[in-house]
Amino acid sequence: MLTTTHKEELKVLLGEDVEFDLSLSLYTSIRVGGLADAFISLKNAEELQKTILWARTRNIPFFILGKGSNTLFRDGGFRGLVLHLGKGFRNFALVKEEGKNVWVEAEGGVPTQQMVRWCVEQGFTGLERLAGVPGTLGGNVFMNAGTYLGEIGEIVEEVSICDGKGKLQTIKKEKLDFEYRKSNLAPSSVVLKVLLKLEKGDKEAIEKNVREVFEKRGLTQPVEIPNLGSVFKNAGKKKAWELIEEAGCKGVRVGQARVSEKHANFIINEGGATAKDVLILIGLIKDKVKESSGIVLETEIKVVGE
């Protein structure tokens, strides 16, 4: 819990960029979550650094938030600082061309679909693999997001981060250990910039690929309803949604949280769901899947707060 002194210091440090006791349900894709002691919309890397250093010297926890997909804040909220990468982290540009290859640098707060659309307009191929994937580019690099077309880690050349001590560093692809839905980036690190290696391609073919991915997601995923994104990682030979369906969990509801009828690996908020509803439902799914298949599902989402 922040003291009155802490709040006064933050006002001096950040001015209007800090808000207190803000509902985190406003900033998550499932529209669930309690209050944040302090919610900070960061403008630039310098502001991020000084905020992290301020928090560390006072032993105050902080959490980095992008667009809030795959994130569940508990009903008790977050005791500390929620650091939001705001508009100051949404720049991107072409930085190098060499034959068919192009290198694009993008900041961590760039909405992923904005970047996908820009690549389509430029005729750059490679980022189609993230068509329809929610969140920011930094968040998707952190968790090595992807679709059936591939994962973002396959096209990352380097990542610039601010670590949990406020130190800036750049990590080359050789030292980025990307695996299925994870990277070796420390949980407290913030992705500031990412360098992507793409290729020049046929614009019409790229548009067709992106359109097909969006159409498939729209037909098979509950994108029109507040949801948590993919809840569980795939396990073994079967997809997580197949295991959940076979366990009889499709459509199961706890409170106002329900396993989607459209895609069993999605939990939707039917209106007024609480984090407790969601967590009970996640536990129920895990128990049923283990009972029916012997497989223990691992969550893909972040559960944060009290």
Q: Give the residue among 115, 63, 121 at the shortest CA–CA distance from 89.
A: 115
Q: Give the residue among 157, 160, 154 at the shortest CA–CA distance from 138.
A: 160
Q: Write down the catalytic residue from 47, 107, 158, 300.
A: 300
**Architecture in CATH of 90-218:** 2-Layer Sandwich (3.30)
Q: Write down the catalytic residue from 181, 188, 207, 246.
A: 181
With beta carbons less than 8 A apart as the criterion, state whether 61 and 16 touch: no
pLDDT band for position 21 (50/70/90)?
A: very high
The pLDDT tens digits for 280-299 are 999 999 999 999 999 999 99
Q: Where are the alpha helices (DSSP H) in 58-175?
A: 112-122, 137-142
**Architecture in CATH of 224-304:** Alpha-Beta Complex (3.90)
pLDDT at 85 over 90: no
The pLDDT tens digits for 26-64 are 999 999 999 999 999 998 999 999 999 999 999 999 999
Q: What is the mean pLDDT of residues 80-107?
A: 94
Residues found in the chain: 306
Q: Give residue limits of the domains in the chain.
A: 4-88, 90-218, 224-304
Distance from C-alpha of 101 to C-alpha of 258, rounded to nearest angstrom = 45
User: Do 90-218 and 224-304 agree at the fold level?
Assistant: no
- How deeply is 207 buried, as exposed, middle or buried, from its count of CB atoms within 10 A (0-12, 13-18, 19+)? middle
With beta carbons less than 8 A apart as the criterion, state whether 149 and 183 touch: no
Distance from C-alpha of 10 to C-alpha of 16, rounded to nearest angstrom = 10
Q: Give the residue among 64, 204, 81, 77 at the shortest CA–CA distance from 138.
A: 64
Q: What is the pLDDT of residue 212?
A: 87
230 classed as catalytic: yes
260 classed as catalytic: no
Distance from C-alpha of 76 to C-alpha of 34, rounded to nearest angstrom = 5
The pLDDT tens digits for 228-271 are 989 999 987 889 999 999 999 999 999 999 999 999 999 999 99
Q: Write down the catalytic residue from 29, 230, 245, 258.
A: 230
**Architecture in CATH of 4-88:** 2-Layer Sandwich (3.30)
pTM for this structure?
0.87
DSSP state of 202: -
Q: Which residue has the tokens 């299925």?
A: 180
29 classed as catalytic: no
CA dihedral 47, 52, 55, 56 (to 10 degrees): -150
Tokens of 165: 């001590």
